[in-house]
Copies of this chain bind each other. A is one copy, B any other.
């Protein structure tokens, strides 16, 4: 189903990280639905979380715990999001953390909780707590691929990637997994993703690296404009490679470049597996007075249901793209400055259809699974790129079926 994804190859272990995945019977039987990620003492953690006003109790708790202590374990459940559950939800999330902490003989603040699934219902704390020993016992450095499956909800494929780099004369590994295919819109983290590396870093430096790459990766994707109450991206650094990441220098440059590659691959995989997606679409806006302006235009195009249905139909309906540009919330400009390209075909410039454009060219640009739309605003040097999917019958079917 997922556009251009062939299946997940074997993910590379990260020294100091072990993952265990089990069936806890959280919402459905016979489904891997509980993952515990353990990391060595001395691991640094960084994270970005949903900006939703309704950030779920596990998000609030994970954020608070990360502010208090370095992480030793992450506990992730699917089935229920533990969102809109109020005080009770906080207690439930804390109970799950406590169960892990008791077994690991660490403080509750050293455990971070994550949940994804139905909003508004309690998580079955008893069943989760009962499954914790098995999930801890299953822990393996080779457990990444199983964990990638264990965090899936409406995803049709598991998502993960490993990258190695040489820095400070030594090999460094970065491995990450992600889940999410609907309710996807950039507003900090937009799904669940867990990335680990064996680089050594202080938490503040790690956070800076994560912040640096998130804008062009996880925050550059959108499926339907909806931000979840639960989404989170976590980066763990165990230090086991003995390569020290500092806030500048060649190690920083190499690490950030590789981290961006990991995050871009994971983020794009989420779009490629977007609910009902049949197309993977890159929308690049250049020539803006600011990156925000470019982003506003790109978002307006990416979120227009009329553009998205035209993409689904492989219909180079550029009138809808112009209409979206025209209503984007930006300062007035002379539309004669604007150039619009569908793939390599220029369709609009000097305020009218390009005389060289033919419908045949546009149709060719929209025929494949991967579509590239470029808009130059002709006002300045700023640019922004977003990645999105189309709007298909299947999207309506997935989201328009009564909750099952």
Q: Are A400 and B353 interface neighbours, CB within 8 A?
A: no
Q: Does A64 contact B (CB under 8 A)?
A: no
Q: Are A228 and B323 interface neighbours, CB within 8 A?
A: yes
> Which residues on the B side are within 8 Å of A148 (C-beta)?
none
Q: Which residues of A contact B (CB under 8 A)?
A: 51-55, 81, 83-89, 118-120, 182-183, 185, 187, 224-229, 303-306, 309-310, 312-315, 317-320, 322-328, 332-333, 335-336, 348, 350-353, 391-393, 395-397, 399-403
> Which residues on the B side are within 8 Å of A332 (C-beta)?
53
A165 CA to B402 CA, complexed, in Å: 46
A309 CA to B83 CA, complexed, in Å: 21
Contacting residue for A305 out of B55, B87, B391, B403, CB 8 A: B391
Knowing A226-B304, A332-B53, say if A327 contacts B120 (CB, 8 Å): no
Q: Are B318 and A120 interface neighbours, CB within 8 A?
A: yes
Chain B residue, CB-CB nearest to A399: B309
5 A-B pairs, CB-CB below 8 angstroms? A54-B322, A54-B335, A84-B351, A224-B305, A392-B396
Q: Are B309 and A353 interface neighbours, CB within 8 A?
A: no
Q: Are B352 and A306 interface neighbours, CB within 8 A?
A: no
Q: Are B401 and A322 interface neighbours, CB within 8 A?
A: no
Chain B residue, CB-CB nearest to A394: B396
Q: Are A400 and B391 interface neighbours, CB within 8 A?
A: yes
Knowing A84-B319, A335-B53, say if A395 contacts B325 (CB, 8 Å): no
Contacting residue for A224 out of B224, B306, B393, CB 8 A: B306
Contacting residue for A400 out of B55, B312, B397, CB 8 A: B312
A396 CA to B392 CA, complexed, in Å: 6
Q: Are A348 and B305 interface neighbours, CB within 8 A?
A: no
> Which residues on the B side are within 8 Å of A84 (C-beta)?
319, 322, 348, 351-353
> Which residues on the B side are within 8 Å of A85 (C-beta)?
352-353
Q: Are B226 and A352 interface neighbours, CB within 8 A?
A: no
> Which residues on the B side are within 8 Å of A86 (C-beta)?
336, 350-352
> Which residues on the B side are within 8 Å of A352 (C-beta)?
84-89
A354 CA to B227 CA, complexed, in Å: 23
A224 CA to B309 CA, complexed, in Å: 11
Q: Are B319 and A119 interface neighbours, CB within 8 A?
A: yes
